[in-house]
Structure 1
């Protein structure tokens, strides 16, 4: 617990305030052990090549001349490491009589390519500060916190929907206009990750400070939202709160990836997905009774209390999971202890090579470039965006079905969403069994998996969505008991759960070097659809009726069913032609 608290935002602030006299790290308690954090091999490579890894050997050698068979000593990457070190020292001495020597690795620094640096790294494969080596209990705790954080923000969209009618009456606007408070919030958390999530990738910041800072703003801004004196003010703050609360919705998956190996990441993502589903499902239930008795403002106060509790919990008990930030802070500690400014970690080296243009490309340009130029990314983004849009437009039919047809009160109407939650818990056990039984054995020795094997669960999920919509639409009649459409809603969460887990894991595996950009683009696409679809939901259901309106959505879902099957068969060929996708597994 002491180590966990030390790495939280509050723990780091206490260290700073007390001049690092409390919550000390091992090297601060025993300065004699600091050298075990230095990587001699990587430091030697930096001296020779300017990178922490050796350049790859050429796979083929061309026929050599007689002179090449008896070469003179040169600085060649083709030489064995020991030979290369001695040659490098000789050559460097010829070029520079006062040539530098990396004292850690005792390697002469190449004056043209090398750099004198002492690389700070994990001290071994079992370094306890490496998030991958954390205990199972600690990993489960962090996963729970990310689920709670995601739930606390995601619920902000649906909890408002319970008060839409009251917003319409209080501000004198139409029902469609009052729905903008929902859609702008969703749009905000679709745009927000494009700007805020990349900050968590910087080694100097890490993930926890971004989570805490944005969540604190999210909590504070609920006050002017609830006290809005006009409709424009309400809409403005709904968009802003969605924007500032967005990082966990896109970066939560990255946090899961920080602590689980690729073969185990699916389980963490699945549990995180439950937190994401619980938000929209529990929102109408939590907000319904409050809006019924106290008005729409109480839905916002409830959101503030929930997110405020999450803020306090995470500030005290959410450790940093970014390995880049953990190594960066270790490097800074060792510099203070030793006074050695040559100490540097690999994340810092990568950051030094990034220009402002690179950052803009990564955050604003690359997500759209990948989304529109990569067929796999485009198809899956459109599919997930459709499912997200269908979810939000379908939610708008619940008041029509359960209030107008079955006579539920506003508070009881929220209980109709519980079928969706039950569906998630029904599908979770077989999904985990399938992953353990069939997918884990397919990982190679490097912990890699051919991405297409992530897709089979989506084959089932693709059919579940239209089943739900047809079932729900044609069973929502006064002569059929209300339990039937509620049972039908479970099919949607089963389908969405299988599709989301398959697609997000597939994109991460197919584009490992660009996963952040790909997932940011996916989040933007689905949030845009989720924001736009509810605006015409009421008109569509009133014009077509519940049966045909739901069937129209079902037919749209059927049109997209071939996508996962197509990518399972042809995805590898598409990856081979791509300049971004991973090709070798």
Structure 2
């Protein structure tokens, strides 16, 4: 529970305020034992060398290797232990396998899947990973690059900091919050529809203009991911900051929207609601991919999609009971009441799930502890080599390029857009058939149902 609170936004705030004295990470505690790979530099530069070491008969210890012939020594602080123990071949091979296992089925690795063979290999590795989880813990030997950088990795195959190794209860807490966050944002889109006849009467506008409250919200959460989704993939940022910052703004805007009594301002605020509520709609699936393996992802993505689909359908039902008995502002207040508890829950119970961000922060702590500037995470290296132009091309131009060049993707995009249009049009056409003054008049309450 303490680790969950430590990694949640409120825990990070407490750590910042106290200078890291509260909610410490293992590397910050006095009793932390630095893994040999990071403290003594008995690293292997390439996997082929490690494999060769495994096949070579006879144990190898640091004392039998001349220092000048061993360029892989990692400098450490004098306060660290200098004792070197022998490493037998079996444990060395196990460490190599552990390193490989730590890298499979992560989202960055899945992004490298290009061919069908790659995908089949990914599923094979996923099955292997599930088998490994039932076996004893294995140490993971950090890799050293040709320029002397030691790549900070998980310490063991069951490292508790790895989101995919979290307990089932911790994963359930995270996935439930993602589902509720998704529901709170999606439900806000159609929740305004029972208020539209009252908005028409209040401002003396047409039904077409009143329907813009729904249209602009949907447009906002369609545009928002173009900005916020790439932001969450930047290792130094991670998942939580875009979630928390935008949800904070979403809540503030929702309160203002609920009290505003000006039609143009109402429409602008509805667009901003959708825009700042959008990160979960694009990044929720990424969070799910962070904590579940490829074999489990489809089940949890189905649940996520169910909450996303149920949101707009439930919105008119909920506000349909309250608006006729109060006023048109009531439907907008209900968005606040639904989103506020979700915000509080995320603040206290949503840990960072991005492995790139977690390892980046671990590398910083290890550098501070050992004084070794060569300790870096792979995400740090990748991030340093990414330009703004590459981010723009990758996240804005590349999707358009794929749609234009791949007919299958283009067809799917057009089909999905058509389904979205039909789905949301139902909320606008129902009043013409079943609303007051229609051929089959019903109360707003029954109309929503």
Class of the TM-score when normalised by the shorter of the 2 chains:
0.7 to 0.9
User: Given that residues 225 and 279 in structure 2 are in contact (C-alpha distance below 8 angstroms), is that contact kept between their aligned partners in structure 1?
Assistant: yes
Q: Give the distance between the partners of 1:137 and 1:99, measured in 2 at CA.
A: 49
Asked if 2 retains the 8 angstrom alpha-carbon contact of 1:38 and 1:123, the reply is no
Paired residues of 2:239 and 2:352 also in contact (CA < 8 A): yes
Which residue number corresponds to residue 164 of structure 2? Answer: 132
The equivalences for 1:102-121 within 5 A come to 102-104=72-74, 114-121=146-153
Contact 1:31 1:337 in 2 (8 A): no
Aligned to 1:35: 35
In the other structure, the counterpart of 1:412 is 446
Question: Residues 560-579 of structure 1: matches in 2 within 5 Å?
Answer: none
Which of 352, 363, 369 is equivalent to 1:331?
Answer: 363
**Deviation sequence 1:214-242 (CA, Å, 0-9, x none):** 00000001133223342221111111111
CA apart distance, 1:300: 1.1
CA distance in 1, matches of 2:42, 2:343: 39
* Structure 2 counterpart of 1:144: 176
- Higher normalized helix content (fraction of residues): 1
Instruction: List runs of 5+ in structure 2 lacking aligned partners.
Output: 54-67, 76-83, 85-144
> Deviation string for 1:34-58 (max 9, x for gaps)?
336749999644xx7xxxx77xxxx
| Equivalent residues of 2:211, 2:428 under 8 A apart | no
Counterparts of 2:232 and 2:409, CA distance in 1: 23
Q: Counterpart of 2:207?
A: 175
| Offset of residue 394 of structure 1 | 2.2
2:123 paired with 1:153: no
Aligned position for 1:101: 71
Give the structure 2 partner of residue 6 of structure 1: 6
- Contact 1:194-1:363 at 8 Å conserved across structures: yes
Provide TM-score, normalisation by structure 2: 0.76
Distance 1:194 1:303, change over 3 A: same
1:369 aligns with 2:369: no
Question: Relative contact order (alpha carbons < 8 A, sep ≥ 6): 1 or 2 greater?
Answer: 2
**Take 1:167 and 1:294, find their aligned partners in 2: how far apart are those partners?**
13
Native 8 Å contact 1:43 1:119 kept in 2: no
Map of 2:275 onto structure 1:
243
| C-alpha separation in 1, matches of 2:287 and 2:426 | 31
Question: 1:295-315, CA deviations, whole angstroms, 9 ceiling, x for partnerless residues?
Answer: 221111111121111111110
Mapped to 2, the partners of 1:329 and 1:346 lie a distance apart of 12
With the length of structure 1 as denominator, give the TM-score of the two structures: 0.59
- For the Cα contact (< 8 Å) 1:214–1:245, is it kept in 2? yes
Say yes or no: does 1:19 pair with 2:19. yes
- Cα RMSD for the two superposed structures: 2.7
- 5+ residue gaps, structure 1, are 55-76, 83-97, 107-112, 416-585
Q: Which portions of structure 1, spanning 4 or more consecutive aligned residues, are displaced by more than 6 angstroms?
A: 39-43
Change (3 A) 1:349 1:157: same
Give the whole-Å Cα distance in 2 for the aligned partners of 1:231 and 1:36: 65
Count of equivalent residues = 366
**SS class of match (1:397):** helix
Are the aligned partners of 1:37 and 1:123 in contact in 2 as well (CA < 8 Å)? no
- 1:389 alignment partner, SS class: helix
Which of 413, 429, 432 is the aligned partner of 1:397?
A: 429
Give the Cα separation in 2 of the matches to 1:42 and 1:399: 72
Distance apart, 1:360 and its partner CA = 0.9
Q: Which one of 249, 256, 279 corresponds to residue 217 of structure 1?
A: 249
**Distance in structure 1 (CA, Å) of the matches to 2:161 and 2:147:** 27
CA offsets per residue over residues 473-520 of structure 1, 9 Å max, x none?
xxxxxxxxxxxxxxxxxxxxxxxxxxxxxxxxxxxxxxxxxxxxxxxx
Q: What are the within-5 Å matches in structure 2 for residues 290-301 of structure 1?
A: 290-301=322-333
Q: What's the counterpart of residue 263 of structure 2?
A: 231
Q: Alpha carbons of 1:99 and 1:261: their partners in 2 closer, same or farther (altered >3 Å)?
A: same
Task: Say yes or no: does 1:284 pair with 2:316.
Answer: yes
Partner of 2:132: none
Secondary structure of 2:296 counterpart? helix
Give the match for residue 378 of structure 2. 346
Offset at residue 155 of structure 1 (A): 0.9
Query: Cα deviations across residues 143-172 of structure 1 (Å, max 9, x unaligned)?
Result: 111000001111111101121111111121
